[in-house]
């Protein structure tokens, strides 16, 4: 894990984890949630999580499932047998960063145009968005911890931009 921090914000590059894209209709989403042991959130831009397993709403028929246990994919496939759906392993696809600290939102707002205040983007909120010139997924795991993911080949760009943003952060 690589960490860069200055003042009240820190960037930690995370190792890849088990990540799966589930797409399908309502019945399949219910079945997927049962198999996953965690109901897929129905409200837009919202997540649910238990321990280190989480389900993020990314679109009306699309969720990102996060789980590190080996065999997750097989369990899910069994739960979804016979139902129309797509379940794709994307564990290698993304580069993950944890952005932590009281000024995490301020740091992210150097490159993300969204309102990341606790009212605008509460704990549990998640979304795809843009990080400067790269597409990104953002998830507020805790009050002071955001998880930012970008496509693997955009990882270097995101890291350098975060580093520059850390060096030039405004006063809180």
Partner 1 sequence: MLLIRCPYCETERPELEFRYGGEALLERPKDPALVSDDAWTAYLWTCKNPKGPHAERWRHVHGCGRFFNAARNTVSDLIVSTWRVDDSPPANFDGGGA
Partner 2 sequence: MTQPFRLPSGGRIDRARVLRFSFDGRAFEGHPGDSLASALLANGVHLVGRSFKYHRPRGIVSAGSEEPNALVTIDRGAGRMTPNLRATQIELYDGLVATSQNRWPSLEFDIGAIGQFASRLIPAGFYYKTFLWPPRAWKHLYEPLIRRAAGLGKAPGEPDPDTYAHQFAHCDVLVVGGGPAGLQAALAAAAQAESVILCDEQPEPGGSALHDPARASELSDLLAKLRALSHVRILQRTTAFGMFAQNFVALAQRLSDHIEPSAASGPRERLWQVRAKRIVLATGAIERPLVFPGNDLPGVMLAEAARIYANRFCALPGKRIVIATSADSAYEAAGDLRRAGAEIVAIVDAREGRPIADDFNVIAGAIIDTKGRARIEGCTVQLADGSTLPVDCDVLLMSGGWTPNASLLSQARGALRFEPILQTFVPDVLPPGISCVGACAGDLRPQGDASRPIHPKAFVDFQNDVTSADIALAVREGFRSIEHIKRYTTNGMATDQGKTSNLNAMMIAAAERSVAPQDIGATTFRPPYTPVTFGTFAGASRGELFEPVRRLPSHQWAKAHGGVFEDAGQWKRVSCFARPAETMRDCVNREVLTVRKKVGVFDASSLGKIELAGPDAVDFLNRIYINDFSALAIGRCRYALMLHESGVVLDDGIVARLAEDRFHITTTSGGIGHVLQHMEDFLQTEYTDLRVWLTDVTEQWATFAIQGPLAGNIVQSLLPDAGLSQASLPHMSLRELVWNGSDLRLMRASFTGEAGFEINVPSVQGAALWDTLVDAAERLDGCAYGLEALNVLRAEKGYIIVGQETDGSVTADDLGYGKMVGARKGDFVGKRSLSLPHLAAKGRKQLVGLLPLQLAQTFEEGAQITQAPHPASGTHALGHVTTAFWSATLDRFIALALLEDGRARIGQTLHVPMPAGAIAVQVTSPVFFDPDGSRLRG
Task: List residues near partner 1 by CB under 8 A.
Answer: 44-45, 58-60, 62, 113-114, 127-130, 135-136
With binding defined as CB under 8 A, does residue 167 bind partner 2?
yes
With binding defined as CB under 8 A, does residue 42 bind partner 2?
no
Instruction: Please list, in sequence order, all residues whose beta carbon lies within 8 angstroms of the beta carbon of residue 103, skipping any fewer than 6 positions away.
Output: 7, 8, 9, 169, 172
With binding defined as CB under 8 A, does residue 50 bind partner 2?
no
d(CA 90, CA 145): 22
Select the binding partner of residue 58 from partner 1, partner 2, none (C-beta < 5 to 8 A, by kind). Answer: partner 1
Select the binding partner of residue 145 from partner 2, partner 1, none (C-beta < 5 to 8 A, by kind). Answer: none
User: Of 110, 103, 106, 145, whose CA–CA distance to 124 is shortest?
Assistant: 145
Task: Give 31 or 58: the residue with its C-beta nearer to partner 1.
Answer: 58
d(CA 79, CA 134): 35
Shortest reach from residue 136's CB to partner 2, in Å? 11
- Contacting partner 2 (CB under 8 A), which of 12, 61, 128, 144? 61
Shortest reach from residue 90's CB to partner 2, in Å? 5
With binding defined as CB under 8 A, does residue 85 bind partner 2?
yes
With binding defined as CB under 8 A, does residue 74 bind partner 2?
no
User: Cα-atom radius of gyration of the chain, to the nearest Å?
Assistant: 16
Residue pair 28/85 in contact by the 8 Å Cβ criterion? yes
Residue pair 111/132 in contact by the 8 Å Cβ criterion? yes
Structure tokens at 33: 């949630």
Shortest reach from residue 75's CB to partner 2, in Å? 17
| Strand partners for 102 | none
d(CA 9, CA 108): 10
| Residues of this chain that bind partner 2 (CB under 8 A) | 16, 21, 23-25, 61-62, 84-94, 106, 109-115, 117, 120, 132-134, 151-154, 156-157, 160-161, 164-165, 167-168, 170
């Amino acid at each position: 894990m690589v960490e860069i921090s200055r003042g009240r914000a820190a960037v930690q590059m995370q190792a890849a984890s088990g990540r799966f894209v589930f797409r399908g209709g309502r019945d399949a989403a219910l079945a997927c949630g049962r198999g996953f042991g965690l109901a897929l959130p129905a409200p837009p831009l919202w997540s649910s999580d238990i321990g280190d397993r989480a389900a993020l709403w990314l679109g009306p028929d699309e969720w990102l499932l996060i789980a590190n246990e080996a065999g997750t994919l097989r369990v899910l496939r069994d739960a979804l047998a016979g139902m129309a759906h797509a379940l794709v392993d994307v564990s290698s696809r993304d580069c993950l960063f944890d952005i932590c600290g009281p000024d995490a939102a301020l740091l992210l707002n150097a490159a993300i145009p969204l309102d990341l205040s606790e009212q605008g983007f509460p704990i549990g909120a998640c979304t795809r968005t843009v990080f400067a010139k790269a597409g990104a997924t953002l998830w507020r795991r805790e009050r002071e911890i955001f998880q930012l993911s970008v496509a693997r080949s955009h990882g270097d760009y995101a890291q350098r931009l975060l580093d520059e943003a850390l060096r030039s952060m405004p006063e809180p």
